[in-house]
Chains A and B, each alone.
Chain A
Amino acid sequence: MTKTTALIFGHNKYSHEIVRNVKDKYSNIRLFSLDENNKTENLPELEYFDLSDKWTEIQKSVDMKNSMAFCVLEDTAENIFLTISLRSNFKDLTIIAISSNKESANKLLMAGANKVIPLTETTSDIITNMLEKPISHKVLHDILYEESNLKIAQVQIGEESEFKDEQLTSIDWTRYNGIVVLSVMHEDMKSEFIYSSKAKHHIIKPGDVLIVVGFEKDIQNFENKIRSRRYVNWSHWSW
């Protein structure tokens, strides 16, 4: 299920970066600002909103079920208030919020955000990894941000898959068609590392999702072979 509309709340450097990165993926991007003065800037798509619960206007023009909201207000309290307001009105809306630290990240999750990006932690993780594990940082960065031919993909096991009903650990994934299987996500919607004790006894069923790393061509071959397809499902993010 692919979302069609991106609702970005907040007019700042974060929202600009988000717009830049996601504009190809959404047919409709709506940028909202709390400050009416921002409207004077040469940004025609900028709309004004306030923190009252009046979402009817937006609701009229946007299919909320098929939208993704980005709460990137710089004031933490306002961001939490916005998140809670959106969640209380739209149960099915996927909300991604940014937070300055872990404490506000917890509050945002409690307020109903599906995913929170803790800025300080993420930045410091990147810095520490760059210094302490430069090789793995480079490799993971390239895989994640597609700066090399290596890709990471989510592949769902199809009904016709040859792995169906096989035990997860009985297959030598690491040597399979040039791809590496990192983890599996099964019915309880949690991803498990391939060698975890839980995953060890797991019998593969249609619908299981494998997280694989490999070159694009190898991933495609793998998909064809196991009669599977790339998979994105936001319902896996519970709140």
Chain B
Amino acid sequence: MFKRWILDFAYYLDTSKSYQRRKRFFYNILENDKNKYKKYVDLFMILLIFISVGVLIREVKHHVNDELMFFSNYIISFIFFIEYMLRLWVSSSISEIIVARAEHDTFLLRDVNLAKAFKEVIKVKLQYILSAKAIIDLLAIMPFFHELRLLRIFILFRVFKLLRYAKSVQTLSSVLATKKFEFLTLSIFASVVIFVSSVLIYVMEGNNPDSPVNTLFEAVYWSIVTIATVGYGDIVPVTQEGRFVAIVVIMAGIAVLAFTTSLFVSAFTEKLDEIKEIKTIEGISKLKNFYLICGYENVSREVSRKLSSHANEIIIIDEDPLRVEKAKKDGYRALNYNPGNVESYDKLNINFDKQIKAVLCLRESDIENVYAALTIRSFNKNIFIMSLLMNDLNRKKLEFAGINTVVYPQELVGLITKELIGKPVAFEVIHELRSENSDVQIDELGITERIVENFPTVGALENSRFRVVLLGVYKTANGRFYFNPLDDTLLEVGDYLLVVGYQVFIKEFEKYLHTRAIND
């Protein structure tokens, strides 16, 4: 009966949406770095830590008022206790383990063995409780027992809790963790040197009344100070034998130090790219409205240059490390991710709808572009995808893959040639208008409510006074372009003026439209 009740309850929890949602919420704010609220929780905890350490320091020589002491000892400890319990709760799922055991045993037509399930639960929970982070968390709660004065020193463990919240410290520990074996070797070597030198110096100097080395502890202290090349000079060997030991220890100390330094350096060098990648991804998650460019070849390079010169944010992903290196050298945020791989976008952790303006598949291979486009479409149905087309036979495939706009360079050559041979100068004029290097440009000026209030009609614009040609008005309402509109054409909010002129005059004209609107 009791067993049945436990199983029912476990199944209920495992399938309850509200329970899982709550658990996920606490998991996210405590453990998920990608959650936007986690940093606020972390900051709050850091603040509590500093308050309790501040109280500890103040208490050494001054009286701390009772309210603050109560807050530091009980309230903060209680908050830490809650945090500890929540972390213990979200670290693993008891109901999931019980359900898995029940399913397993039922499948094998056995009686559900709850004892095994509980054993498993205890194992995973203990695994968490005995982890370094959890132990520090637990010790940080200890000052709760304020009456035991010795336990007050545990406030310092709250400082260690900072490690949990400081990302750079986590990065440091993850980097050093990669060199576990080397650090173990180093510590064994250093321990042997310290042990041998301590015993030697104690044996050589211990019986000499002039020597400051009187106890084994002093000998160990001298060894460590010497090996670390600190050499305070408070304890120095006075006998010939002792000095000989000192020479050997100093040389061994240099070796230990050199070994330690090289270990740190090599660990960081090996992990540098990974650390940089993490930083880049963190930066990307904060960006809004950027272009995602898949592939970095000739066209992509030019497009990246032009888009960034218009103050656009761009992110480049390419599976080729050399091309990524090139993109980085050119000053772009680039990641060595395969654009056709789902994992790449999972790692990037971007919101396609809110963060990306458009995706540009600019590999000079239709196969790669189709592959990348399909992968992106599997994530998001609405994002605008533009792609290069290298072979006209593949056009349908690209369109089928969900690419919104296809740019076919060969077709452009044909069209350009056609225009070139018919209207060379006219073509040049249009080409100049499009080219970013030209002084004369075509621009789109958006009509705002304020502009409409002051310039209700086209005639009121006085564009020719600013040496700007008004080519026409694009009416967003009906999606039509009105070429060379009459003076009495009404302007509406959301319309665009298509103007041609020198960039500087267009800017002046735009400024005039806005400032007159404000001034009036």
Contact = CB atoms under 8 A, between A and B. Distances in A.
B413 A127 contact: no
B476 to A, nearest CB: 9
B414 A140 contact: no
Interface string A177-205: 01110110100000101111000000000
B47 interface: no
B355 to A, nearest CB: 16
Q: Please tell me the size bucket of the interface on A.
A: 35 or more
Interface string A14-28: 101110111001000
A153 B413 contact: no
17 contacts: A14-B413, A20-B414, A124-B306, A126-B434, A127-B303, A127-B362, A128-B303, A135-B481, A140-B442, A152-B423, A174-B484, A179-B484, A191-B428, A193-B500, A213-B484, A214-B483, A232-B422
Interface stretch (B5-13, B25-33, B176-184, B465-473): B465-473
A136 B299 contact: no
Given A20-B414, A117-B420, 19 more contacts: A14-B410, A17-B414, A17-B417, A117-B416, A125-B435, A127-B386, A128-B306, A132-B307, A135-B481, A136-B442, A139-B471, A144-B419, A193-B440, A195-B467, A195-B468, A195-B502, A213-B483, A213-B484, A236-B425
Contact of A96 (B312, B417, B469, B502): B417
B442 A22 contact: no
A11 B107 CA distance: 68
A237 interface: yes
Interface string A209-231: 10101110000000000000000
A143 B411 CA distance: 17
Interface in B294-347: 298-299, 301-303, 305-307, 310, 312
Contacts of B434: 125-126, 129, 137, 140
A9 B14 CA distance: 72
A28 to B, nearest CB: 14
A234 interface: yes
B421 interface: yes
A30 interface: no
Given A21-B415, A136-B444, A236-B425, A130 B405 contact: yes
A182 B500 contact: yes
Contact of B484 (A13, A121, A180): A180
A145 B303 CA distance: 23
Contact of A237 (B358, B407, B417, B424): B424
A178 B419 contact: no
Contacts of A22: 417-418, 421
Contacts of B435: 125
A68 interface: yes
Contacts of A85: none
Considering residues A72, A144, A191, A209, which has the most beta carbons from chain B within 10 angstroms of its beta carbon? A144
Interface in B276-304: 291, 298-299, 301-303
A125 B436 contact: yes
A139 B302 CA distance: 23
A124 to B, nearest CB: 3
The 6 closest A-B pairs by CB, nearest first: A17-B414, A124-B302, A195-B467, A21-B418, A21-B414, A128-B306
A211 B310 contact: no
Interface string A55-95: 00000000000001010100000000000000000000000
Interface of A: 3, 13-14, 16-18, 20-22, 25, 68, 70, 72, 96, 98, 100-101, 115, 117, 119-133, 135-140, 143-145, 150, 152-154, 172, 174-175, 178-180, 182-183, 185, 191, 193-196, 209, 211, 213-215, 232, 234, 236-237
B108 interface: no
Interface of B: 291, 298-299, 301-303, 305-307, 310, 312, 357-358, 360, 362, 386, 388, 391-392, 405, 407, 409-430, 433-436, 439-440, 442-444, 464, 467-472, 474, 481, 483-484, 487, 496, 498, 500-502, 505
Contacts of B386: 127, 130-131
A127 B299 contact: yes
A16 B436 CA distance: 29
A165 B81 CA distance: 93
A171 B302 CA distance: 40
A129 B470 CA distance: 19
B425 A211 contact: yes
Contacts of B414: 14, 17-18, 20-21
A172 B469 CA distance: 11
B501 A193 contact: yes
B464 A120 contact: no
Contacts of A17: 410-411, 413-414, 417
B502 A124 contact: no
Contacts of B424: 115, 232, 234, 236-237
A101 B298 contact: yes
B464 A174 contact: yes
Given A124-B306, A136-B442, A213 B471 contact: yes
Contacts of B481: 135, 138-139
B498 A135 contact: yes
Considering residues B417, B418, B427, B502, which has the most beta carbons from chain A within 10 angstroms of its beta carbon? B417
Given A127-B360, A194-B469, A3 B421 contact: yes
A72 B412 CA distance: 13
Contacts of B310: 128, 132
Contacts of A98: 413
Contacts of A172: 464
B307 A128 contact: yes
A161 B435 CA distance: 33
A127 B293 CA distance: 12
Nearest to A114: B424
Contacts of B407: 123, 126-127, 130
B9 to A, nearest CB: 56
A152 B430 contact: yes
Contacts of B405: 130
A223 to B, nearest CB: 14
B299 A123 contact: yes
B425 A185 contact: yes
